[in-house]
Structure 1
Amino acid sequence: MKKILDVKNLNVSFNTYGGEVKAVRGVNFDLHKGETLAIVGESGSGKSVTTKALMGLLPKPHGYVKEGEILFEDKDIAKLSEKELQKIRGKDLSMIFQDPMTSLNPTMKVGTQIMEGLIKHQKMSKTQAKERALELLKLVKIPNAEERIKQYPHQFSGGMRQRVVVAIALACNPKVLIADEPTTALDVTIQAQILDLMKDIQKKTDSSIIFITHDLGVVANVADRVAVMYAGKIVEIGTVDEIFYNPKHPYTWGLLGSMPTLDSDDSELYAIPGTPPDLLNPPKGDAFAPRNQFAMDIDFEEQPPMFKVSDTHYAATWLLDERAPKIDPPESVQKRIDSMASNDGKGDM
Structure 2
Amino acid sequence: MGKLLEVKNLQVQFDIFGAHVQAVRGVTFELNKGETLAIVGESGSGKSVTSKALMGLIPNPPGKIKEGQIVFEGKDLVANTEKDWMKLRGKDISMIFQDPMTALNPTMKVGKQIMEGLILHQHMSKSQARERAIDLLRRVGIPNPEKRVEEYPHQFSGGMRQRVVIAIALACNPKVLIADEPTTALDVTIQAQILDLMRDIQKDTGTAIILITHDLGVVANMAQRVAVMYGGKIVETGTLDEIFYNPKHPYTWGLLSSMPKLHAKTDKLQAIPGTPPDLSNPPKGCPFAPRCPYAMKVCVDQMPAYTHLSETQKAACWLQDERAPKVEPPKTIGVGGE
TM-score by length of 1: 0.95
Counterpart residue number, 1:85:
85
Q: What does residue 344 of structure 1 align with?
A: none
Map Cα deviations across residues 227-276 of structure 1 (whole Å, 9 max, x no partner): 00000000000000000000000000000000002212544522101001
CA contact (8 A) 1:41 1:229 kept: yes
What does the per-residue CA deviation read over 1:261-308, in whole Å, with 9 as the maximum and x for residues that have no partner? 221254452210100110011111111001000011110110001101
Does 2:167 correspond to 1:167? yes
Counterpart residue number, 1:94? 94
Match of residue 260 from structure 2? 260
Secondary structure of the residue aligned to 2:114 is helix
- Matched AA of 2:39: I
**1:339 maps to which residue?**
337
SS at match of 1:192: helix
Post-superposition CA distance 1:309-334 (Å, at most 9, x none)? 1000001100100001110112322x
SS at match of 1:226: strand
Gaps of 5+ in 2: none
Aligned residues: CA RMSD = 1.1
Report the equivalent of 2:198: 198
SS at match of 2:186: coil
Partner of 2:62 in structure 1?
62
Which residue number corresponds to residue 312 of structure 2?
Answer: 312
1:155 to 2:160 alignment: no
**Structure 2 residue matching 1:212: 3-state secondary structure:** strand
Tell me, yes or no, if the aligned pair for 1:268 and 1:332 is still in contact at 8 Å. Answer: no
CA distance in structure 2 between the aligned counterparts of 1:307 and 1:22, rounded to whole angstroms: 24
Report the counterpart of residue 293 of structure 2 in structure 1.
293
Given that 2:262 and 2:336 are in contact with CA atoms closer than 8 Å, whether structure 1 keeps it comes out as: no
Q: 1:346 is matched with which residue?
A: none
Amino acid at match of 1:232: G
What aligned pairs does 1:14-163 form with structure 2 within 5 A after superposition?
A: 14-163=14-163
Asked if 1 retains the 8 angstrom alpha-carbon contact of 2:14 and 2:21, the reply is yes
Contact 1:319 1:326 in 2 (8 A): yes
Gaps of 5+ in 1: 341-349
Task: Report the AA paired with residue 294 of structure 1.
Answer: Y
Contact 2:262 2:337 survives alignment (8 Å): no
Instruction: Measure the CA separation in 2 of the matches of 1:275 and 1:100.
Output: 29
Corresponding residue number in structure 2 for 1:282: 282
Distance 1:331 1:177 in 2: 35
Identical residues among aligned pairs (%): 70
Q: Distance in 2 between matches of 1:166 and 1:179?
A: 9
TM-score, structure 2 normalization: 0.98
After TM superposition, the structure 1 stretch with the greater mean CA deviation from structure 2, 234-243 or 11-20, is 11-20
Counterpart residue identity of residue 337, structure 2:
S
Tell me the residue number matched to 1:207: 207
SS in 2 for 1:254: helix
User: AA paired with 1:147?
Assistant: K
The equivalences for 1:222-261 within 5 A come to: 222-261=222-261
Is residue 269–residue 332 contact of structure 1 (8 Å, CA) maintained in 2? no
Equivalent pairs, count:
338
Distance in 2, Cα, partners of 1:245 & 1:31 = 22
